[in-house]
Chain A
Amino acid sequence: MGKQYETVIGLEVHVELATKTKIFCGCTTAFGGAPNTHTCPVCTGMPGSLPVLNRQVLAYAVAVGLATNCDITRYCKFDRKNYFYPDNPQNYQISQLYLPICRNGKVEIETENGKKAIGIHEIHMEEDAGKMLHDELDDYSLVDYNRSGVPLIEIVSEPDMRSAEEVIAYLEKLRMLIQYLGASDCKMQEGSMRADVNLSVREAGALEYGTRTEMKNLNSFSAITRAIAGETARQIDLIEAGEKVVQETRRWDDNVGKSYAMRSKEDAQDYRYFPDPDLVPIVVSDEFLQEIKGKQPEFREEKMARYKEEFDIPAYDIDIITGSKHMADLFEETVALGAQPKKVSNWLMVETLRLLKENNMDPEDIRFSPKNLAGLIKLTDAKAINSTVAKEVFEEMFKNDIDPEKYVEEKGLKTVNDEGALRKTVEEVIANNPQSVEDYRNGKEKAIGFLVGQTMKAMKGKADPSMVNQLLKELL
């Protein structure tokens, strides 16, 4: 049997903050504007322009730091990281090296061997770069600075993870905390959460770390999982062949399932960090810290425990509902409007999840309001609409957040509870379908289903099927 190896992983996670404006200027951070329409002299690095820190960036960074059990640096400042690349118009990125806002934190993850703490080395604030566009045929590149100056926090973990499962659990944990704080939507596919993986291998039981590589361009949890497997195997192969792992940055190509060296340490950049003289130091006061602490939300674990106490719904439902802050809010607000928790949960677990999946949407994208969901449940409770109609109304609500009561009224979807009218229709259906009637009378129980269907059709779906059933049985 060959040697046993252990994989050692640390992550650098960049999270785009959900501010309305950029970190140092009043330009919008809105997505999808025409190129360079969200720019100004500050975020295009014009000489003489002066950056001023967005207070909300600091508030979010401190909130994330508190949620990850970090020490908050009470006297902190910004530094310039110098490098030349056209996506960076100032030729330096404003970041934090010497006094990052948060240090020495940790989060707890669930592993197959129980709980495990993952250390957080630091969290710092910095600005994003612009976007480069290349066309193979052209001999130039184009730059759009709309993303330049969008606020980021970079969360640097300790090398505490040992498997892809632990990495995913850690990322999920960060995502939950940050989404609950409303500090970011943390969508990996859209780039609002990005992870670089630092990975090394060593013989099981060794005390020293092996030489690590840094992998970039990982856009999904599954890409991260594949990249970790690929890089672990590559490094073990090198070691087994008696070669050395080179400390370098590698780019993962998920289509090919291979990583490629981007730059090695020999030509590593000398960033010549120094304090940014344009930005004054930040002193985090007791008042500011108290203000942020006072606004920390109920996080997922606490919420799950409370739901278990308060609501009679299955653990599975609780897991799904609290897996999205937006869905948990929707659930709680609908219940607060008087709807029965189990019914609210059912609409979320069945129809909502189905429609999300069909439309390739995240729970965060749900648009219907608690008020309208509560309204729909009220209509079904009062038997004003049957379950088929309710589903149809729900689909409309999911799409356009319509008021179910008005919609049912306008479309005339209300169940006909007038027994006389229903009885008349049932009698007609019986008269028009002698064959089924005979089948039923000869003991073919299933035939009644066809008659119910015919009656529902004649009533344009606006009857209560159980009432139809009852009437049919009575009249047959």
Chain B
Amino acid sequence: MANIISDETIEYVGILAKLELSAKEREEAKKDMGRMLDYIDKLGELDTEGVEPMSHIFPVQNVFREDVVTNGDTRDEILKNAPKEKDGMFVVPKTFD
């Protein structure tokens, strides 16, 4: 494996992804991530000189909607996705900025 993931990196990625990993999971994740990066490095072998980076693989552009209201009140349906609801709102852990 050419890419060695450090403990600090996996710790940092864990924080960003809000994941708590056990020691065993961490070791596995380090290996998985190293392998993934090795795979991606393969692409670096290609000569991409003068090739514009693309963000999309389909030759499609300018897909728009007109500014017309098409959705009604589907609150009851939407709230079915909430683990908990109160007064028509989603209940989440107490969060302050």
CB under 8 Å from chain B, chain A span 1-41 = 19-21, 25-28, 33-41
CB under 8 Å from chain A, chain B span 38-97 = 55-56, 58, 60-71, 73-75, 78-79, 81, 84, 86-97
Q: Which of B55, B68, B95 contacts A141 (CB 8 A)?
A: B95
Q: Count B interface residues, CB 8 Å.
A: 36
- CA A272 – CA B92 in complex, angstroms? 24
CB under 8 Å from chain A, chain B span 4-58 = 16, 18, 55-56, 58
Taking a contact as CB atoms under 8 Å apart, the answer to whether A26 and B70 are in contact is yes
Instruction: Name the CB-closest residue of A to B59.
Output: A280
Mark interface residues in A35-59 (1 if CB within 8 Å of B CB, else 0): 1111111001010000011111010
Smallest CB separation, B35 vs chain A (Å): 20
Smallest CB separation, B53 vs chain A (Å): 9
Evaluate whether A134 and B61 lie within 8 angstroms (CB atoms) in the complex, with A26-B71, A36-B79 already known. Answer: no
How large, as a class, is the contact surface on chain A? Answer: 35 or more
Taking a contact as CB atoms under 8 Å apart, the answer to whether A282 and B61 are in contact is yes
List chain A residues, Cβ under 8 A from B18.
84
Instruction: Name the CB-closest residue of B to A131.
Output: B89
Taking a contact as CB atoms under 8 Å apart, the answer to whether A134 and B56 are in contact is no
- A358: Cβ under 8 A from any B Cβ: no
- CA A414 – CA B68 in complex, angstroms? 47
Taking a contact as CB atoms under 8 Å apart, the answer to whether A282 and B16 are in contact is no
- CA A19 – CA B69 in complex, angstroms? 10
List chain A residues, Cβ under 8 A from B84.
140
- A210: Cβ under 8 A from any B Cβ: no
- A77: Cβ under 8 A from any B Cβ: yes
Taking a contact as CB atoms under 8 Å apart, the answer to whether A283 and B62 are in contact is yes
List chain A residues, Cβ under 8 A from B58.
280
Q: Which of B64, B69, B75 contacts A28 (CB 8 A)?
A: B69
Taking a contact as CB atoms under 8 Å apart, the answer to whether A26 and B89 are in contact is no
Provide 25 A-B residue pairs closer than 8 Å at the C-beta atoms, listed in order of the A residue.
A20-B69, A25-B71, A26-B68, A26-B69, A26-B71, A27-B71, A34-B75, A35-B75, A35-B87, A35-B88, A41-B78, A52-B63, A55-B65, A56-B67, A86-B95, A132-B95, A133-B89, A134-B95, A140-B94, A142-B86, A144-B88, A262-B97, A275-B56, A280-B61, A281-B55
CB under 8 Å from chain B, chain A span 86-140 = 86, 132-134, 138-140
Q: Which 5 pairs, one residue from A and one from B, show the smallest C-beta to C-beta distance?
A: A26-B70, A275-B55, A55-B64, A56-B67, A142-B89
- CA A25 – CA B68 in complex, angstroms? 9
Smallest CB separation, A135 vs chain B (Å): 9
Taking a contact as CB atoms under 8 Å apart, the answer to whether B56 and A20 are in contact is no
- CA A84 – CA B14 in complex, angstroms? 13
Most chain A CB atoms below 10 A, which of B60, B90, B92 = B90
Q: Which of B55, B87, B90, B92 contacts A277 (CB 8 A)?
A: B55
Q: Which of A21, A35, A85, A145 contacts B95 (CB 8 A)?
A: A85
List chain A residues, Cβ under 8 A from B66.
54-56
- CA A86 – CA B90 in complex, angstroms? 9
Q: Which of B64, B70, B93, B97 contacts A140 (CB 8 A)?
A: B93
Smallest CB separation, B80 vs chain A (Å): 11
Supplied contacts A142-B90, A145-B90, 13 more A-B pairs, CB within 8 Å = A26-B70, A27-B69, A35-B88, A39-B74, A40-B74, A44-B78, A54-B67, A55-B65, A56-B66, A138-B94, A142-B91, A143-B90, A281-B55
- A302: Cβ under 8 A from any B Cβ: no
Most chain A CB atoms below 10 A, which of B56, B71, B95 = B71
Taking a contact as CB atoms under 8 Å apart, the answer to whether A281 and B61 are in contact is yes
Smallest CB separation, A143 vs chain B (Å): 4
List chain B residues, Cβ under 8 A from A34.
75, 88
Taking a contact as CB atoms under 8 Å apart, the answer to whether A141 and B93 are in contact is yes
List chain B residues, Cβ under 8 A from A38.
71, 73
Instruction: Name the CB-closest residue of A to B91.
Output: A140
- CA A281 – CA B58 in complex, angstroms? 10
List chain A residues, Cβ under 8 A from B16.
82, 270, 272
Smallest CB separation, A24 vs chain B (Å): 8
- CA A345 – CA B58 in complex, angstroms? 57
Evaluate whether A77 and B55 lie within 8 angstroms (CB atoms) in the complex, with A44-B81, A283-B61 already known. Answer: yes
Smallest CB separation, A88 vs chain B (Å): 11
Taking a contact as CB atoms under 8 Å apart, the answer to whether B96 and A134 are in contact is yes
Evaluate whether A142 and B92 lie within 8 angstroms (CB atoms) in the complex, with A54-B67, A58-B64, A262-B97 already known. Answer: yes
